Amino acid sequence: MTTPPASDASTLASAERPGAGRVGTEAARRRTFAVISHPDAGKSTLTEALALHAKVISEAGAVHGKAGRKSTVSDWMEMEKARGISVSSTALQFEYAPDTVGESDTPYVVNLVDTPGHSDFSEDTYRVLTAVDAAVMLIDAAKGLEPQTLKLFQVCRHRGIPVITVINKWDRPGRTPLELLDEISERIGLTPTPLYWPVGIAGDFRGLLERGTDGEATSYVHFTRTAGGAKIAPEEVMDADAALAREGEEWTTATEESQLLSATGQDHDQDEFVAGRTSPVIFASAMLNFGVRQILDTLVALAPAPAARTAVDGSERAVTDPFSAVVFKVQAGMDSAHRDRLAFMRIVSGVFERGMVVTHAQTGKPFATKYALTVFGRERTTVDDAYPGDVVGLVNANALAPGHTLYLDGKVEFPPIPSFAPEFFSILRAESAGKYKQFRKAVDQLDSEGVVQILRNDLRGDASPVMAAVGPMQFEVVAARMKAEYGVEARMESLPYGIARRTDAASADELNRQRGVEVFTRSDGVMLALLSDKWRLQYILKEFPELTLEPLVAGEDG
């Protein structure tokens, strides 16, 4: 594997820094990334396997929903555990030192932000992608690129996030490795550059060939299964001659394919990777813990460290500038023993010290940070300081919402996080009028977290707000959390709308007179016109060109 010298953990002390001093040194050893995938590609299983290899948990829980198995550490919601899917994002932080690091060297700090796998929660994933410096794109060896993966990759490309590709489930029957690489190249225009090549076809995963210059094998890593994949899989590293003697024809095939990749220019180039034109590729089985160490080593060696971020006014906030952070996620109900609310912020610059009083850019008001936590799944640890790239949870931060900026000294405000255009709409009511106070509190809470968008108008009133969502499963989360956290049984009634457009007060009266149209005001004050379908939209645009009906997302069909 080609590793840039400045990325080697043993040379951190002499590597080029984003800035001088302690903050620059700490930022240089941070790696903050997200895992993106289509549902059921093994994302949460991989998240847990990475934690296992970093030795922060002693045993993997394997797959959710399997009888007798534990839920993964990153899935804390009962609905997630029952269904075996992730429907919210969580943050895991741990230290990791590759085998090449000596005892006297400082380990890396890994901030892994797990994301929802289901497409209905792609807006939550989008928020996470505003807070990371790299992404792992997880692909099922049998299914290849799937719709949700493609959608999230486009978000990474738009935001300039380098992507490392992991082809998972190589222990099961699947497609050929060359076929999968061709699909990546053809469908998303990204040149795959494998760092490791599988020995053995999909379903017969024996080990990994480590690729060197011109595709030559530098070593062979042979894996041994453990019971249920609960422990780190033992590895035996050998040279090419020993690998040939052990694996025979399978090794010969792997070496020939590796050399073929080099002949077609599919070798790793760090500059091309950071520029988003190539993607290092690793084959793995998260279930068996095969290839997981190689993923971690690649992340800390090749993924970029935190860098400057552009503010609303076009200026850049360097990592060594005074403290600043951006809130990307607000979540309540993570701890059933405490009805608190966590605002997850990504440190952009400077050093965060618990108890410091910072400024909330959106209101200009001071904000105290007395209760600050690092989070490992559901487990919380008080954090006293944090550095660029770290993710910190602020407790009971009721004034904060996704996209908000906090800063110390030198005023700064980072761009807001845009919302997705909702496609599903449902009236929300409390089953019991006696629970109305709790109902209102729950609605306001879930709205501020961004679980759904809440819409209101005078006709329906506060007792019957309308939920707007990217996918219908978001409504199920609302109902489940209202019952679990507020004791409120909620009733939902679907509305016959499929399109939302931004409008204004001058257009509202005429739009409300049209069949198949209803105007609402969102909690942030934005007026939305909900329309039954694209034909109704086209009719109104043609008959009433003076009315305001703007797409909520740039490039959205109008």
Q: Which residues are annotated as a binding site?
A: 114-118
Q: Containing H/E element for 141?
A: none
- The 10 Å Cβ neighbour count of residue 312 is 12
**Scanning the structure block, which residue is given the tokens 């970093």?**
54
**If we measure between CA atoms, which residue out of 416, 413, 418, 450 comes closest to residue 325?**
413
Angle (nearest 5°) at CA 337 between 332 and 341: 20
Contact of 167 with 146, CB cutoff 8 Å? no
User: Cα 120 vs. chain centroid, distance in angstroms?
Assistant: 14
Cα–Cα distance, 393 to 91 (Å, whole number): 9
Q: Any idea of the CA torsion for 368, 74, 113, 144, to the nearest 10 degrees?
A: -160
Give the ranges where 173-239 is alpha helix by DSSP (H): 177-188
Integer CA distances (angstroms), 527 to 336, 429, 466, 500, in order? 35, 22, 13, 10
Rounded Cα distance, 274 and 302, in Å: 9
Three-state SS across 56-109? CCCCCCCCCCCCCCCCCCCCCCHHHHHHCCCCCCEEEEEEECCCCCCCCCCCEE
Beta bridge partners of 135: 34, 163
What is the CB neighbour count within 10 angstroms for residue 314? 6
Which residues participate in the annotated binding site for GTP? Answer: 114-118
The candidate with the shortest Cα–Cα distance to 111, out of 88, 78, 136, is 136
The answer to whether the beta carbons of residues 7 and 101 sit under 8 Å apart is no
Q: Is 212 left (phi over 0), alpha (psi -120 to 50) or beta?
A: beta
CA atoms within 13 A on the CB side of 25: 9
